[in-house]
Amino acid sequence: MKKRKYSALLPDQDYSVNVFTDTEENSLINEDDTPITLVDNIVGTAEIVCSIRPIDLQFVAACMPNSHYDRKRFAAITLRVCSPMCTALLFTSGKLVLTGTTTRSECLMAALELVRLLRQYMRGLDFFVNGVSIQNVVAHVELDIPTGGKLDIARMYSQHCEFCTYQSSMFPGLSYRPDNSPVVLLCFFSGRIVITGGRCERDIKEGWRKLWPVIRQYIQ
């Protein structure tokens, strides 16, 4: 993947956040019968460097459309970017949390678009992005459950309780994280499984591939 330089990025920083391009990662299709994962959300972090520190979030809220700030309730301002679709939290320190994208390149582009908007609406100040990184990838799998069947998470809990958290009276899902797994599975009777905890799409795919032989034993 070729590195690109953006004027919104700090100089002398490495922003090659993709070890694989999105096309290459999406081509990691399961070659066996492992159900295919679909990425729902990527959580990324970055630093917004402003020519004035700390960042005046009240002033940002007054200037920026699609923003919400209530300092009595939360220490960050909420900013929304339309293309790519993303919701961001910006703190006075410059810390930025990005959610809602589904690829790492989208996460980087959302940070760059946010800087562009800050420059556009807050003239006289300059902004740069520093250190975009991925913290969590959330995906899901829909198992092919036979009509009238289920994923027997109660039996799974009884046999793997040391790796599971399950309280059916409080929450219908079972959390499963065996030792040395890069991901956590949240399993439901319906056969829907939420996969989280990975730092990249490869973590999600390979973590799920390793856990699938265990999960398939409990399909009824």
pLDDT, one tens digit per residue, over 85-132 is 999 999 999 999 999 999 999 999 999 999 999 999 998 899 999 889
* Positive or negative: CA dihedral 179, 184, 186, 187: negative
Question: Domains of the chain (ranges plus CATH)?
Answer: 22-34+41-135 (3.30.310.10), 143-218 (3.30.310.10)
Q: What is the pLDDT of residue 131?
A: 87
Cβ–Cβ < 8 Å for 39, 183: no
Q: What is the pTM of this model?
A: 0.82
pLDDT, one tens digit per residue, over 33-42 is 899 999 999 9
- Show the CA angle centred on residue 25, arms to residues 21 and 26, nearest 5°: 115
Phi first, then psi, for residue 61 (nearest 5°) are -65, -35
pLDDT, one tens digit per residue, over 143-200 is 999 999 999 999 999 999 999 999 999 999 999 999 989 999 999 999 999 999 999 9
